[in-house]
Amino acid sequence: MSTVDRSVSAATDRHLDRFGNAGEELLVGGVPLGRLAARVGSTPFFAYDRAGVTRAVGALRAGLGDAVELGYAVKANPMPALVGHLAGLVDWLDVASAGELAVALDTGKSPDRVSFAGPGKTDAELSVAVAAGVLIELESAREAVRVVRVGEGLGIRPRVAVRVNPDFAVQGSGMRMGGGPQQFGVDAEEVPHLLVLLADLDLAVEGFHLFAGSQNLHPDLLRQAQEHTVDLLLALAERLPAPLRYLNLGGGLGIPYAERDRPLDPAEVGGTLARLVEERVRPRQPDAHVVLELGRFLVGESGVYVTRVVDRKVSRGRTYLVVDGGLHHQLAATGNLGQVIRRNYPIAVGTRLGGGEVETVDVVGCLCTPLDVLGHEVELPVADVGDLVVLFQAGAYGRTASPQQFLGHPAPAEVLV
Ligand SMILES: *Cc1c(COP(=O)(O)O)cnc(C)c1O
């Protein structure tokens, strides 16, 4: 790998080194960017680095050891080829719709190792899930009753776990999904009562699931949340009518987007959790599957969103690079996916990594709205029409977390390299 003149790119060493470069061009999976664009046949596109995903899983596994199983939350990136790749690397796939369930089952993963969460599962989705034999994570008492009815109709005993809305909030998460009032899960204090109800129903109750927040970059706060999670779920497990088989501790491990974000150390985070499980869970529950469930952390850093410059213009002293992509494909990079403050995602001109003259530009998308800003006042090498602009950290919550229909442009291609 040759070196890159860091001064000319708003992306950091971390992003550039992950992919490498051949001369001026970024490599994705070893393929120079221009050639990859030709191979894909159109821009914009998302490209995912298969080896990068393998490495991300391996680094975490090195810390987790045998103590904790790993699940992939398909929601983060449901591209079938990518999910297929991950199915061979992780122990569980977690889905949140019948569509994701179909993708998960198509990988050949055993339904024993597929879980289904989500607050608004329809009867049709529940029926598909029960027929498939996957583990349904109950989000309410009413949903439990509906699952039983669906099971009776099919003549199949549904497998379920109770999703718990904890009596604590996880600090430091970019997006909170537990603690206080929530549409997710059953309030912890209501769970004992629900377990009494479930004992009389024709269900296999296998355990618990707790997912309380996403995008957390604080190892200490993650450890605290994991301790609280383990203690709460172990206490609830005492009231389970059957032996505990499944203990899904959630996850929420984040990746760095803004310049000031510090990445988590996967070996450290994994090792901390492994020790916690050995010390607190194993003495009381030697046989349960203990699962860490992650989306973003496994795939986010291995994806790039590649756009081509279609215009370059100067307006009253400000230089704009107008690219053929935008917020309709990569909403998060424009700061419009729940962020309070807009911060630039790492960005580079993937065809000009060799150095040369730099300038400060705004990189804007092709949509006719001022929201479509991919990079604000970023220092980049002077680029021209035809150059390829790359947004990093695009492997999770990109294509499917963006309003693709907005303004009627074609969907972006995706490639796993
Ligand atoms: C979204 C979600 C995940 C994945 O979250 P990440 O922050 O991408 O790791 C895991 N579990 C459940 C239930 C989710 O809703």
Q: In the chain, where are the structural domains located?
A: 2-49+303-416, 78-294
- Span from the CA of 298 to the centroid of ligand 1 (angstroms): 11
- DSSP letter at 346 equals P
Question: Exposure pattern of 55-94 as b/e (b: 16+ CB <10 Å)?
Answer: ebbeebbebbeebbbbbbbbbbbbbeebbbbbbeebbbbb
**Rounded Cα gap, residues 49 and 20, in angstroms:** 11
- Span from the CA of 239 to the centroid of ligand 1 (angstroms): 27
Does the C-beta of 76 come closer than 6 Å to ligand 1? yes
pLDDT value of residue 8: 39
pLDDT value of residue 285: 96
Does the C-beta of 73 come closer than 6 Å to ligand 1? yes
Q: Beta partners for 175?
A: 214
Does the C-beta of 294 come closer than 6 Å to ligand 1? yes
Does the C-beta of 295 come closer than 6 Å to ligand 1? yes
- Superfamily of structural domain 78-294: Alanine racemase (3.20.20.10)
Nearest protein Cα to ligand 1, atom 7: 214
Distant-in-sequence, close-in-space partners of 175: CB < 8 Å, separation ≥ 6: 213, 214, 215, 338
Does the C-beta of 165 come closer than 6 Å to ligand 1? no
Does the C-beta of 211 come closer than 6 Å to ligand 1? yes
Chain centroid offset of residue 66 CA: 23
Does the C-beta of 92 come closer than 6 Å to ligand 1? no
- Span from the CA of 270 to the centroid of ligand 1 (angstroms): 17
- DSSP letter at 111 equals G
- Span from the CA of 155 to the centroid of ligand 1 (angstroms): 31
Q: Beta partners for 38?
A: none
Of ligand 1's atoms, which has the minimum distance to the CA of residue 75? 1
Does the C-beta of 163 come closer than 6 Å to ligand 1? no
Q: Alpha helices of 296-349 — where are they, by DSSP H?
A: 296-299
Q: Where are the beta strands (DSSP E) in 178-317?
A: 186-187, 204-209, 213-216, 246-251, 289-294, 303-315
pLDDT value of residue 10: 64
pLDDT value of residue 5: 43
Q: Beta partners for 176?
A: 213
Nearest protein Cα to ligand 1, atom 5: 295
**Rounded Cα gap, residues 253 and 175, in angstroms:** 11
Of ligand 1's atoms, which has the minimum distance to the CA of residue 71? 10
**Rounded Cα gap, residues 215 and 40, in angstroms:** 31
**Rounded Cα gap, residues 31 and 38, in angstroms:** 11
Active site residues: 368
**Rounded Cα gap, residues 365 and 379, in angstroms:** 17
**Which pTM was predicted?**
0.95
| Mutational pocket test of ligand 1: of 72, 74, 75, the residue with most ligand atoms within 8 Å of the beta carbon | 75
Q: Tell me the pLDDT of the chain (417 aa) as tens digits.
A: 334 444 334 667 788 899 999 999 999 999 999 999 999 999 999 999 999 999 999 999 999 999 999 999 999 999 999 999 999 999 999 999 999 999 999 999 999 999 999 999 999 999 999 999 999 999 999 999 999 999 999 999 999 999 999 998 888 888 888 888 999 999 999 999 999 999 999 999 999 999 988 999 999 999 999 999 999 999 999 999 889 999 999 999 999 998 889 999 999 999 999 999 999 999 999 999 999 999 999 999 999 999 999 999 999 999 999 999 999 999 999 999 988 889 999 999 999 998 789 999 999 999 999 999 999 999 999 999 999 999 999 999 999 999 999 999 999 999 999
Does the C-beta of 178 come closer than 6 Å to ligand 1? no
Nearest protein Cα to ligand 1, atom 4: 295
- Span from the CA of 378 to the centroid of ligand 1 (angstroms): 31
Residue of 103, 98, 100, 108 whose CA lies nearest to 130? 98
The pair phi, psi for residue 80, each rounded to 5°, is -55, -40
Of ligand 1's atoms, which has the minimum distance to the CA of residue 96? 15
pLDDT value of residue 14: 81
Q: Beta partners for 72?
A: 93, 294
CB atoms within 10 A of CB 354: 15
Of ligand 1's atoms, which has the minimum distance to the CA of residue 117? 13
Torsion, Cα 180 145 136 66, to 10 degrees, reads 70
Task: Name the CATH topology of 2-49+303-416.
Answer: Lyase, Ornithine Decarboxylase; Chain A, domain 1 (2.40.37)
Residue of 394, 407, 384 whose CA lies nearest to 321? 384
Residue of 340, 341, 338, 387 whose CA lies nearest to 363? 387
- DSSP letter at 168 equals S
Say if CB 18 and CB 255 are below 8 A apart: no
| Secondary structure element (H or E) that encloses residue 164, with its range | strand 159-165
